[in-house]
Structure 1
């Protein structure tokens, strides 16, 4: 899986569709180089990637709860990837349904699950933080 992550991060196709949290609840797009930098700079910090689709009902349902959680857990980095914009990235992480959450630390995928279950997100964050 580690080599898959490196291939994804080196992909020139990843130019949009990834979002990061800015100081408000609005999400701002990030680009390939910024994603690489964020994953590298995260170091010991946990990174949670939310693979979502704009048309996905459960994704829309859990989004405000994720926003709240990301405000509470300032020591965890939350990123969002639009699977329709970045199909190759979704394939590399073997994302078949949305939302899918991938938990990364020190560049390694620690956990992954699908479903709009905020309690499971919280428990998985606590497990790997």
Structure 2
């Protein structure tokens, strides 16, 4: 519970979305300062919202996943409901991310 799952490939991502009806995927890079700043907040959100599953994709290690979802800036959070893209939040904006998770739960 509250774990943020590392997603390594397109197949891994498909499986993650197939098994989790409410999901948030954090597209990040190790060299990205804002990504590092928001990472603890993402973990907090994962702990506080057990019904939403959180995943993360290192865009440098899993370029094909980032390309599939047309991610061009980091961090980018894509919210999914029943495997379909529900919302996209670009940037390390904790308030917007919290708001997105709340909308996802409604």
Deviations 1:12-68 (A, max 9, x none): xxxxxxxxx64xxxx6645555543331121xx310000000000000000011111
Q: Does 1:52 align with 2:28?
A: yes
Q: What corresponds to 1:120 in structure 2?
A: 96
Within a 5 Å distance, the mapping from 1:39-78 to structure 2 comes to: 39-42=17-20, 45-78=21-54
Provide the TM-score with structure 2 as the length reference. Answer: 0.86
Provide the TM-score with structure 1 as the length reference. Answer: 0.72
Query: How large is the Cα RMSD of the aligned pairs?
Result: 1.8
Q: What corresponds to 2:66 in structure 1?
A: 90
Q: Which residue, 37, 47, 55 being the options, matches 2:15?
A: 37
Which structure has the greater CA radius of gyration?
1
Structure 2 unaligned blocks of 5 or more = none
Q: 1:109 to 1:28 in 2, by over 3 A?
A: closer
SS at match of 1:48: strand
Q: Report which structure shows greater RCO (CA 8 Å, sep ≥6).
A: 2
Structure 1 unaligned blocks of 5 or more = 1-20
SS at match of 1:38: helix
Distance 1:56 1:126 in 2: 26
Q: Does 1:101 align with 2:85?
A: no
SS at match of 1:64: helix
